[in-house]
Amino acid sequence: MGVARLDQRPDKQKNRFMHRYFPQWKLKTSGIIAPDERLPVGPTIMVGLQHVLAMFGSTVFAPLAMGFDPNTAIFFSGIGTLIFFLIVGGRVPSYLGSSFAFIGVIIAATGYQPGTGLNAHISIALGGVVAVGLIYMAVALIVMLVGSRWVEVIMPPVVTGSVVATIGLNLASSTIGNISRHAFDAWMASVTVLAVALIAVYAPGSIRRLSILVGGVIAYLITLVLGLIGVGPRLDFSSVAKAAWIGLPHFQTPQFSGNAISLIAPVVIILIAENIGHVRAVSAMTHRNLDKYLGRAFMGDAVATTIAGFGGSVGVTTYAENIGVMAVTRIYSTLIFIVASVAAILLGFCPKFGAIISTIPEGVFGGLSIVLFGLIAISGARIWVENRVDFSKSRNLITAGVSLILGSGMVGGLAVKFGNVTFDGIGVATFTAIVLYQILREGESVPEESAVADAAVSPTAPSDLSHSSLHES
């Protein structure tokens, strides 16, 4: 009997560990569904598929903008979501999709022209993605050991908002350039923007969350019809006919280049900021303090990004689109993201799906780019507003203004090089924002500082600006 009890102890200890690490999801059929609660199986599957639709547009568009295989990106978004679920112990509801933060730096590192098919230098980009994941893992370990306060000191909202806005602005010139080559593409880009905008503003609530997907489909169908009647070029579906229904994603191994890594590495700052924002948003919606899981959330995203880089896909991040779905449905159960991730993995094994995605016309692609890059840019301003960044303070004005101009102006291959290390506009803007803010940091504002900042943004009293500037100096 004593031996039998000894044999049972490891199993009991294992069960106790599993009960502590993962929540015991309680069945609930109505009202707000908390992260540690669950719906019946049928509704769980349906809500999980709704999350797939929510992430679909952005998760497919981001790899296309960098020349990555959308099948592979969808596959690793599912794998990444499962990894995140396991590392956070099913405590933080989240879907991990393709990160837009990588677009500008990967284009700069590989010389890729968006909308021209697969990127010939994907392996070099993958080396940078892996590097970002490893740096992110190091940050996650530190946060798990000592907390996240130091991250917020280095990257306050004025810095993260500036960097996020810079990403959207930096991508603007290439997008406009692509749709300007042909009049038909420019017109279809306009139609696409209008379709997305109308869906986002006037469609029913659940459809609004899918504005990129639905608007893109509408513009695609309009392009298809115009091609059939001879108004525009006909779409070529030969690759779709040749593609198999079932097949492996396009896996590829990374190649490590110092220049590419230095260009892509600053993206880790954006991933950290996005993850913090996600955890705080879910905390507010669920009325639960999830900050204690922040280090594990960082680690889940970091490991998922590293594995994606080793397998041939772009890095991943927690998705705001899925936060929106949770806000509308009030269903926060983490189990629904297992369903969503499995569905994404299955899509990754369908080459015909990827072939259909590759037929998206350049005009439609350009229109979606304008909307999405514009939303990225304005998201930076949203960070400022939501965190009440005080632009009456000169340090905030200078930090944001200088970084935005550098990031939006350094395009078309412009970069700063230090030996084998290269920084494009996004990288320069990122480090400028961090360093400038720390240099200009001080305890309390002096009266002159507010006067200078107010005058700098005031359309009146130029003489007051001059007087205040001289007085401050």
| CB burial of residue 171 (10 Å; 0-12, 13-18, 19+) | buried
Closest CA to 98 of 125, 122, 76: 76
pLDDT for 396? 94
pLDDT for 72? 94
51 has pLDDT over 70 = yes
Distances (CA, A) of 273 to 74, 152, 175, 209, 280: 23, 9, 25, 22, 11
The token pair at 65 is 């903008």
Q: Quick: pLDDT tens for 378-437.
A: 888 888 988 899 999 999 999 999 999 998 888 777 777 776 666 778 888 888 999 999
Q: Place 340 in a pLDDT band, splitting at 50, 70 and 90.
A: very high
Q: Place 78 in a pLDDT band, splitting at 50, 70 and 90.
A: very high
Q: Quick: pLDDT tens for 162-175.
A: 988 888 888 787 77
Maximum Cα–Cα distance for the chain, whole Å?
93
For the chain, what is the radius of gyration of the CA atoms?
A: 24
Adjacent-strand bridge partners of 98: 316
Give the lowest-confidence range in 57-61, 118-122, 437-441, 457-461. Answer: 457-461
Mean pLDDT of the chain: 83
**Lookup result for tokens 């299955």:** 346
pLDDT for 450? 42
pLDDT above 90 covers what percent of the chain?
36
Q: Quick: pLDDT tens for 137-156.
A: 999 999 999 988 888 888 88
pLDDT for 420? 64
pLDDT for 144? 94
The token pair at 214 is 């639905």
Q: Which of 48-62, 182-196, 200-214 ranks highest by mean pLDDT?
A: 182-196
Closest CA to 172 of 264, 103, 120: 103
Give the lowest-confidence range in 3-12, 16-25, 167-176, 268-277. Answer: 3-12
The token pair at 472 is 């401050």
Per-residue buried b or exposed e for 23-43, using 16+ beta carbons within 10 Å of the residue's own CB: bebeebeeeebbbbbbbeeee
Closest CA to 254 of 97, 128, 117, 102: 128
368 has pLDDT over 60 = yes
462 has pLDDT over 60 = no
Taking each continuous run of H as one helix and of E as one strand, the counts in the chain are 22, 6
